[in-house]
Chains A and B, each alone.
Chain A
Amino acid sequence: MLPTASLDRRTLLRASTLLGAGAALPSSLLAGAMAPLRPDRKTKRVVLVAFAGGVRTRETFGTPANVPNMRQMADEGVLYTNVATSNLGHFGATMSIFTGISEPRGIRENARGNDPTLFEYLRKGLDLPKQDVWVTTTGGAQQVNYSYSLHPEYGARYGANILDGDGIFNKEFKDMLSAWGMPQPVEPGERALLDRLRRGVGGGEDAAREAEQLARVEDYILGELSRGTTDISGAAAGDRKALRLARNLLSLFKPRMLGVVLQNADVAHGSFNAYSEVVRQNDAAIGELMTAIREDEELRDSTAVLVVPEFGRDRDLNSRRGLDHGDGSEDLRRVSCVAWGPDFKRGVETGRDQRVIDVVGTVCELFGAEAPLAKGGRLQGLYA
C-alpha cells in the first residue's frame, strides 16, 4: 500500500474541531509523509475542477475581470484555449471528462456509466484507499453516478467518495437535524459495543472494518454540518459549497485525487447576467481554494489543479436574454482549460488542438497510472 493519510476517528474529530475554528492544521497531524507517485514528478495530489453547467471562454478568459483567480493560475501555469468538447448534455459531457470517452448520455439519466472513471483507474492502478479519492458536487442525485462505473473489472470497489454539497449541507436538512436533535458522535464505549454487534450479524471482520471507515465519514459529515458550509446562499451557492467542501477535504484528508463538479452556470438559459455572476462567484471560490493550497506548506509545492468546462454555450442570446447550448457553434464546442502545478510550465498559453477527454490520460500520466479504456490523449506541452 502506498503511504497515505491515515486518520483514526479521535484524530479526525480533533482535526474537525480545529478546522471549524478556522485554525491552520499542521500537516503532520493529518497526513503521514506522502511521496510523489512518480519519482520524476513533484506532484502528489491533483484537484480537477469540472467547471460544468456550460461555460464559454468569452465569459472566462475572454473577460479577465470575471476570473482574476483563474487568470492568475493561467499566468502561473498553462492555458489551453482550444479544447474540443461534445454537446452530450451536462451529465454525459461531464462524465466524459472523468471517463475520457465521449459517449451520449441522457440529460436526466440517473444511472452509472459502463466506462471506468479516472477515480477507478487511480484506485485500482495505484492501490489507493477510498479515503484518498474524493469528489464534491453540486448537481444532486445524478452526479453521484460519477463515483464509479458498472464496468466488471472496476466498479464500486474502486469508487470515489462523493459528497454533494447542496444535497447534504442545505438549510432544510440542517433545520431538520436541529428540530429533531442533532445526533452526537458515538462514544468510544458504545462504538466498541456496536462493532461487536455488527460483527455478530454476518460479515465478520470485513464488516467491522468497513463500519469503522464509514464511521469516519459519518463523523466528518457531522463536523462539517457545524461549520459554515450550510449557511452559504445566493448566486452559485451550490457550486460554492462544492468548492468549500473541496477546500476543507483537502485540508483535512489531503487526498491524492479530488474532483469538483460545478453546475450552477446553467442558469444561463434564463439570464445571461445571472450566468456571468456565477462565473465570477465560482472564480472567487476557486481563488479561496488556491489560497488554501498556497498557504499550506504540505500542499503548495505538491498539488496540481486543473479547471475545465464540459462544454460552452451558444453564440447568441435566446429570446429570454439567456444562453442555451445547442447551436453547434465554436463557442459551444471549444472551451479553455487551465493547468497549474509544480511540474507544469508557467505562463504558457497555447491554441493547440486538445479535447476535454484528454484530461483523464493527463492525470493518470501525472500519477504514473494507466487509463487503458480511455479514448483521449494527453494535454501536450504541459510539463516544464
Chain B
Amino acid sequence: MSTEAIPLPFQDGQDPRTRAAAARALDPRSLRAVFMDLIGRPPRQSEVGEWLGRGRGELLDELLGGEEFWGHWWHEQLYYFLLIDNFRPRTRAAKEVPERLAQGRLHYRDALHQAALTPTFDLRNPGADTFVTVVMEQFCGLVVQDKASELEIGKVAYEGGKGRFLGTTAENQADVIRICVEHREASRHFLAREHQRLLRVELDSKQLRADAGRLHRDPWAYLAVVREWLLSEAYDQRLRDLVPKSNTLFVRCLFVDLLDRLPEDDELEPLRNALDGLADSRPLRSVVVRLLLDSGRAAVPRKQDIPDPTRWVAAQFPRFLGRDATDEELGVFVSAFHEEGCEPGTILYALLSHSEYQSY
C-alpha cells in the first residue's frame, strides 16, 4: 500500500472534515512543563512551533528514553546522592552512563549501582558508619536508627568481615552496595522519590506497591511506568498547579530562553552552587538574570529595531511564562516600553526576575 499523501481537493482553511483535537493537547505552559520535567529544559523556539497543539503522548514518545532524557535523569540522581562539585564522578564510565542507558545497554538500576561504585561516592561518604548508613538510607529508604543491628553487620562487612546483611551474605564493601541496590525496598524507594520528583506528590501506597513490584521484577519497565504517570490525571493536576523550579532548572531554563543553549558544566555548577547557598534564592536569581542580559550574549533586540512594541511585548509572555498577557498586563508593559529609560532588556528583566518565572 502506498503511503504517499493524496492531494486534497480543498483550499487552505476550507477543509470541511471534522478534525479531532489531540488527546491532552499541548499548550504553551504544558509544553514547557513537560520538556522541563523530562529533559530539564524548556523547548527551543523551533520546538515550540513543532509541538504546540500536538498530543502529550506523542511528545512522551519523542522524549522518553532518549539521551537527553537520561542525561537529565542521571544529573538528578547524582544531585540526590549529593555527588556534585568535587564529588561529581568524572570517570569515563560515569560520563557514558546516559548514552548507555539510551542505547538500552544499561537499565536504571545498573546506573544507580554504578553511581555507588564511583570513587567519589566513597569519598563523599567516608568511613564505615557513614558509608553503610548512606547506602541503607539513600537506596532503600531505611531509617538506620531502627535497623541498628543491620548497620553494625554492614559495617563489619564494609571492613572485610562476613555477616548476613539485609538477608544476604556480605563480606566486603561491594557486597554492601549490591545488596542495597538490589533490595526490594530499593525499587519502592526509587519509585517513590521519582514520583515525587516528576509529579510533586506522593504516589498512593497501593499504586506504589504495584509499580514497585513490577519494577523489581523487571527494571526495564521504568520508562513504561513513567509514561503511565505522565498520562495520568495526577499529572494533569500537576500541570494545572505551578511548582517551583529547582536552582538547576532555573539556570538551564534561563540559558535556553536567553541564549538558546544549555549551560556548560563549568557555567552551571558555580551558578547552581551560589543559588543553593540561599534558602530563598530569588535575590541571587535576579543577579543571574542581569548577568546574562547585560553580558551582550543574549539576543536582546534594540528598542529602535522593534517596529510593533505591543506585538513584541505580547510575545514575551508565552515565551517565558507559558501564557498570554492579560489586557491589563499588556497595557502596563507597553506603556512602560514607550518611556524614556525603558529598554527591551528592562522588560525581559522584569519578567525573568518575576516570581512567576521561578515556577512552571
Q: Which residues of B contact A104 (CB under 8 A)?
A: 143-146
Q: Is the CB of B283 within 8 A of A214?
A: yes
Q: Is the CB of A200 within 8 A of B333?
A: yes
Stretch at the interface among B28-36, B121-129, B180-188, B216-224: B121-129
Q: Which residues of A contact B277 (CB under 8 A)?
A: 137, 140, 144, 162-168
Q: Which residues of B contact A186 (CB under 8 A)?
A: 290
Q: Is the CB of B127 within 8 A of A318?
A: yes
Per-residue CB contact flags for chain A residues 174-212 toward chain B (1 = under 8 Å, else 0) read 011100110100100110011011111111000100100
| Chain B residue nearest to A135 in the complex (CB) | B279
Q: Is the CB of B354 within 8 A of A183?
A: no
B329 interfacial contact with A, CB 8 Å: yes
Q: Is the CB of A144 within 8 A of B282?
A: no
Which of chain B's residues 270-314 have a Cβ closer than 8 Å to chain A? Answer: 270-271, 273-280, 282-284, 286-287, 290-292, 294-297
Closest 9 CB pairs of A and B: A167-B277, A326-B129, A164-B277, A200-B332, A147-B279, A269-B126, A197-B350, A162-B279, A324-B127
Q: Which of A167, A196, A217 has the most CB of B within 10 A?
A: A167
Stretch at the interface among B52-60, B95-103, B334-342: B334-342
Per-residue CB contact flags for chain B residues 119-140 toward chain A (1 = under 8 Å, else 0) read 0000001111110011001100
Q: Which residues of B contact A193 (CB under 8 A)?
A: 336, 339, 341-342, 346
Q: Which residues of B contact A27 (CB under 8 A)?
A: none
Q: Which of A108, A148, A164, A322 has the most CB of B within 10 A?
A: A108
B211 interfacial contact with A, CB 8 Å: no
B81 interfacial contact with A, CB 8 Å: yes
Q: Which residues of A contact B283 (CB under 8 A)?
A: 214-215, 217-218, 221
A159 interfacial contact with B, CB 8 Å: yes
Q: Is the CB of A161 within 8 A of B350?
A: no
- The answer to whether residues A140 and B129 also contact, given A160-B279, A201-B351 and a CB cut-off of 8 A, is no
Closest beta carbon of chain B to A150's beta carbon, Å: 13
Q: Is the CB of A190 within 8 A of B341?
A: yes
The number of residues on chain B lying at the interface, defined by a beta carbon within 8 Å of a beta carbon of chain A, is 62
Which of chain A's residues 209-244 have a Cβ closer than 8 Å to chain B? Answer: 210, 214-215, 217-218, 221-222
Q: Is the CB of A197 within 8 A of B126?
A: no
Q: Is the CB of B273 within 8 A of A173?
A: yes
Q: Which residues of A contact B279 (CB under 8 A)?
A: 135, 144, 147-148, 159-162
Closest beta carbon of chain A to B186's beta carbon, Å: 14
The bracket for how many chain A residues form the interface is 35 or more
Q: Is the CB of B291 within 8 A of A107?
A: no
A153 interfacial contact with B, CB 8 Å: no
11 A-B residue pairs with CB within 8 Å = A108-B134, A108-B137, A168-B273, A168-B274, A173-B273, A194-B346, A197-B350, A201-B354, A324-B128, A325-B130, A326-B128
A347 interfacial contact with B, CB 8 Å: no
A276 interfacial contact with B, CB 8 Å: no
Q: Which residues of B contact A202 (CB under 8 A)?
A: 329, 356
B207 interfacial contact with A, CB 8 Å: no
B252 interfacial contact with A, CB 8 Å: no
A141 interfacial contact with B, CB 8 Å: yes
Could you tell me the distance between the alpha carbons of A165 and B328 in the complex, rounded to whole angstroms?
42
Could you tell me the distance between the alpha carbons of A222 and B291 in the complex, rounded to whole angstroms?
12
Q: Is the CB of B329 within 8 A of A201?
A: yes
Per-residue CB contact flags for chain B residues 338-360 toward chain A (1 = under 8 Å, else 0) read 01011000110111011110000
Closest beta carbon of chain A to B38's beta carbon, Å: 22
Could you tell me the distance between the alpha carbons of A144 and B329 in the complex, rounded to whole angstroms?
34
Q: Is the CB of A141 within 8 A of B82?
A: yes
| Chain A residue nearest to B133 in the complex (CB) | A107
- The answer to whether residues A197 and B127 also contact, given A148-B279, A164-B278, A168-B277 and a CB cut-off of 8 A, is no
Which of chain B's residues 236-292 have a Cβ closer than 8 Å to chain A? Answer: 266-267, 269-271, 273-280, 282-284, 286-287, 290-292
| Chain B residue nearest to A214 in the complex (CB) | B283
Q: Which residues of B contact A198 (CB under 8 A)?
A: 350, 353-354
Which of chain B's residues 24-74 have a Cβ closer than 8 Å to chain A? Answer: none
Per-residue CB contact flags for chain A residues 143-163 toward chain B (1 = under 8 Å, else 0) read 010011000000000011111
| Chain B residue nearest to A189 in the complex (CB) | B341
Could you tell me the distance between the alpha carbons of A160 and B280 in the complex, rounded to whole angstroms?
9
Closest beta carbon of chain B to A345's beta carbon, Å: 35
| Chain B residue nearest to A197 in the complex (CB) | B350
Could you tell me the distance between the alpha carbons of A306 and B356 in the complex, rounded to whole angstroms?
40
Which of chain B's residues 170-202 have a Cβ closer than 8 Å to chain A? Answer: none
State which of A164, A269, A318 has its C-beta within 8 Å of the C-beta of B276: A164
Q: Which of A141, A175, A176, A197 has the most CB of B within 10 A?
A: A197
Q: Is the CB of B137 within 8 A of A197?
A: no
Q: Is the CB of A144 within 8 A of B273?
A: no
- The answer to whether residues A200 and B276 also contact, given A222-B287, A318-B127, A324-B127 and a CB cut-off of 8 A, is no
Q: Is the CB of A172 within 8 A of B280?
A: no
A361 interfacial contact with B, CB 8 Å: no
Q: Is the CB of B284 within 8 A of A218?
A: yes
Q: Which residues of B contact A207 (CB under 8 A)?
A: 355
Q: Is the CB of A172 within 8 A of B269?
A: yes
- The answer to whether residues A173 and B287 also contact, given A144-B278, A166-B277, A201-B329 and a CB cut-off of 8 A, is no
